Structure 1
């Protein structure tokens, strides 16, 4: 279309004819030089399996180069890219041999893909993702021409885990690792569960993607437009396997069979294999990561326990899953004003690898770097969590307010009816599938006003803040709550409410301006669910005593956020979050995923005096 417009403009132009124009000489334009050469090899593992591996060597770079390795289940490049990907540009200035490998059982790699994250440090005959990383590095440094003998590993999500688990038994040539949105424990808070509550919609789509077809990333086809309605039909959750998967997705079937934190899940937790920190590690996390918000923090905390040479670092920012490698100048609809993703790549990631793999520049000397949300500035900390934060309790009151004032003696409870047949949606309906529609990526930034009018959601709101309130460190909630059932969920959301006059609409508003405005926007800062059956033990669930008020401790993870002057703080409490979390029948049963339809009952929920959010407040 563009060429046609240019041609039309030239055809309509007046051209002087007093002097004959010389005949143009056509000079051939040489094709642009490809930025990489491409090589595909099959790398042998210790058990004889061979893994599909692609080597991209930058053209125009001479001399030995370090290797940057990424192991992935999502497929490797089929050819050399014609242009340098945006996320490579900062790294390309120093030069690396980029290597991608399909993990066991994916695409052309031998074996079966099991989702196993278990490692076996005491079994010399075992093979796992840590040994595959070791064997791959060993082969690369011996067989890839003109490498300098130094290897780095990096990746986001599954590749982040694959990089992190290499630290369980690091090869001597592994000199730098950046686990980004990695995970350590499927049960606790990454990918498959949130504190034992199944991440229903994501588990369905993600497990299907990786186990339905070895040779491709598959997309599950729903037979209803709104997945909320589709999942509501699947009562119990085991119907998905019975009617659709039919045993073809082994990890999904395993979830149904292992509804508690039993040995199956415990052996997947590989964090205990990390000993003394010997490899420089740049952990990266997003405060709004909708998939893996927990694991990178746990790797950082574990490595801190034995890090005499100060090789362990953590970086986090107001990013969704992998957002630091994408557009980093917004939080969903909220503009940041600067591109934090580009800054991360240029100022943190590239210098990290340049120092440890090239010997260039200064050694990265920070402990924790945070791109603070609200203020939208970079902060450096000598410790994480910072030691200067003071814990303050923000109390939920019966009149629907929150404040730092303790509740009066004898203050009453608030209540609502939770109906599993009408669960609270986790984002506005209609709810799209996880893939390939991009809505899923940004849902944790979403305006929470869409549930504010529901009778089964309690909202508590503060007065406008008289000054900025900065919370930096680990957040947590404690609900003093009861249910009339014998099992239940409670979901807690900590929300930053923007002023109604936050921004002015243009003089002549256009269609949709009013709804797109950030006036009154309710930004969720932290959200989490706790399942009642696991309050006492994740291994052995217990029924709740009906109508007994007990403490529900709800961890809200690490954050660095400024509630700005004039904003309000809101807390929402509800008992369903569907279908991102499966429905609790609210009647105790041995296995929720196999509950009968008649086990799903309504329950009266009470939130009582003493309920609070614990905030690590920084001095102004």
Structure 2
């Protein structure tokens, strides 16, 4: 036992005398458990410290979590202490053994900085701190990085996000991420005395304002404040870091997944940071929020695996110890994307890719595009005459969520490239399909649908889903999105629509890197719901938090001269591919339109 740890007079400020100081079993690691680290407002946060037993001063890997600092600690501290790092695991404010109230994420900035200052002042610290962790553990790193603390020298967030409105509560189209948020709150904030009902028992609850009581057994101020501000108004500005990322000058290694809720945010962060400095590296794999190689209907193979923890260690070795290794990127910012289809990694240095050809595929039909059995088509040239398609959206019977970029429970909300056959049997889902492709077609970047729509309601939603149809007819989701009509012009200023009047809308349908193989067909699904990933628009044009009146809506999609509804694909030209005509692939490459 170290002398300074055994003598109370030598305990650094913030140590609890009740802490446990011992060597980890079957490990050359010294543990100091139950530390109480002081914050600037007097609140103390609980933490556990793990040190290499050799003694000396070390760089420290700081991991701050709302999920219990004890969970998963063994593998983390053993790995990093073996590489010569101290590891501090800390419960964030208001969670588990930490004092205070768990609330707005902006508090994570000052708390992180205070913890880093505390670390730098300890006798075992060399004053250099790095941070690692996924999800909320990644988000706190962004908050720490904008505090400009000189002791924080590198971070490695994974599947994190940096905007509370756009990442965690609402979509880029203004629909509430109901399944994500309510499920997370229920799983993490339910009082021990409350027996939480099954997911299906509270996800349908109306009004949404009191869904917290249905799920957790009590009102939750965090939930109700979010519902009181469905627009991206001044309430949300303090909870967004996007405009502050330009202040982050330290090296950043980030990771994300194409089927994770935070993929767009992770790529946006790379783009912003790459303009700031060269020491930025991002990996986007075929993963969901909980990285794995295999989904229910798709296995991307062993090549999808990367040694995440080892890459993080190399990153910290480079920037905290000054070692020369593969993390020393000499060619500027590096973006490693996993291209699904060929299932291979490719290095880029920008996002979106400058060589992208944004190519429209135009919708058409004879007025009966309902379901996969309908007559909806996609072509590379606009049509002059085409009958509009209609369907009835009844919020009592929403189209079910089946895969996609979802967080955060793979059992209750399975993510990934799932089979869409059950959804495509519905009459309230319009299906538009291209002719078979004559050669592989890569789609890498943001996908967007521009639609001309009308509705019998004053407000409703429209969804767009990009689908790969295999030679055997099996449809697999690639990416998707949703747009609430009241937010068609701006997220901060809702404007309702006039009934049965055509409007142009743009649906952000997510990001991907996906090769549609030759012989496959490209498909676009249009509907008005994706539940429970997103909340149901009840079509009443009332306040979303309090509405209970359900209204059926007749929805219309136009696709003719003057109303060229289209899905715009970010196509990446293949090397030595055929010529382009007006920015579109030659018809011979893709069959007849």
Alignment of 1:183-582 (within 5 A): 183-193=161-171, 195-213=173-191, 221-222=196-197, 227=200, 230-232=202-204, 234-241=205-212, 245=216, 247-289=218-260, 291-305=261-275, 307=276, 309-323=277-291, 327=292, 329-346=293-310, 348-362=311-325, 363-365=328-330, 366-398=333-365, 400-427=375-402, 438-440=410-412, 442-500=414-472, 520-582=473-535
Q: Which moved more, 1:551-560 or 1:445-454?
A: 551-560
* Separation (CA, whole Å) in 2 of partners of 1:373 and 1:93: 35
In structure 2, runs of 5+ residues without a counterpart are 1-23, 367-374, 575-593
Once the two structures are TM-superposed, the CA of residue 58 in structure 1 deviates from its matched residue by 4.4
Q: Compared with structure 1, are the counterparts of its residues 398 and 95 closer, same or farther at alpha carbon in structure 2 (3 Å cutoff)?
A: farther
Give the conservation status (yes or no) of the 8 Å contact 1:315–1:368.
yes
Match of 1:596 in 2: 548
Match of 1:141 in 2: 120
SS in structure 1 at match of 2:203:
helix
Give the conservation status (yes or no) of the 8 Å contact 2:47–2:88.
yes
Q: Compared with structure 1, are the counterparts of its residues 499 and 470 closer, same or farther at alpha carbon in structure 2 (3 Å cutoff)?
A: same
Q: CA RMSD in A?
A: 2.8
SS in structure 2 at match of 1:161:
helix
Q: Which moved more, 1:46-55 or 1:538-547?
A: 538-547
Q: Compared with structure 1, are the counterparts of its residues 64 and 207 closer, same or farther at alpha carbon in structure 2 (3 Å cutoff)?
A: same
Q: Compared with structure 1, are the counterparts of its residues 484 and 253 closer, same or farther at alpha carbon in structure 2 (3 Å cutoff)?
A: same
Residue 536 of structure 2 corresponds to residue 583 of structure 1 = yes
Q: Compared with structure 1, are the counterparts of its residues 78 and 277 closer, same or farther at alpha carbon in structure 2 (3 Å cutoff)?
A: closer
SS in structure 2 at match of 1:297:
helix
Give the conservation status (yes or no) of the 8 Å contact 1:134–1:171.
yes
Give the conservation status (yes or no) of the 8 Å contact 2:303–2:344.
no
* Separation (CA, whole Å) in 1 of partners of 2:384 and 2:394: 31
> Number of aligned pairs?
532
For the pair shown, the structure with the greater C-alpha radius of gyration is 1
Give the conservation status (yes or no) of the 8 Å contact 2:231–2:493.
yes
Once the two structures are TM-superposed, the CA of residue 191 in structure 1 deviates from its matched residue by 4.6
Residue 63 of structure 2 corresponds to residue 70 of structure 1 = yes
Once the two structures are TM-superposed, the CA of residue 565 in structure 1 deviates from its matched residue by 1.8
SS in structure 1 at match of 2:458:
coil
* Separation (CA, whole Å) in 2 of partners of 1:407 and 1:219: 57
Q: Compared with structure 1, are the counterparts of its residues 78 and 375 closer, same or farther at alpha carbon in structure 2 (3 Å cutoff)?
A: closer
Once the two structures are TM-superposed, the CA of residue 332 in structure 1 deviates from its matched residue by 3.9
TM-score (structure 1 length as normaliser): 0.80
Q: Compared with structure 1, are the counterparts of its residues 477 and 220 closer, same or farther at alpha carbon in structure 2 (3 Å cutoff)?
A: farther
Once the two structures are TM-superposed, the CA of residue 38 in structure 1 deviates from its matched residue by 2.2
Give the conservation status (yes or no) of the 8 Å contact 1:394–1:402.
no
TM-score (structure 2 length as normaliser): 0.83
Once the two structures are TM-superposed, the CA of residue 403 in structure 1 deviates from its matched residue by 3.7
In structure 1, runs of 5+ residues without a counterpart are 1-30, 119-127, 501-519
Match of 2:587 in 1: none
Once the two structures are TM-superposed, the CA of residue 112 in structure 1 deviates from its matched residue by 0.2
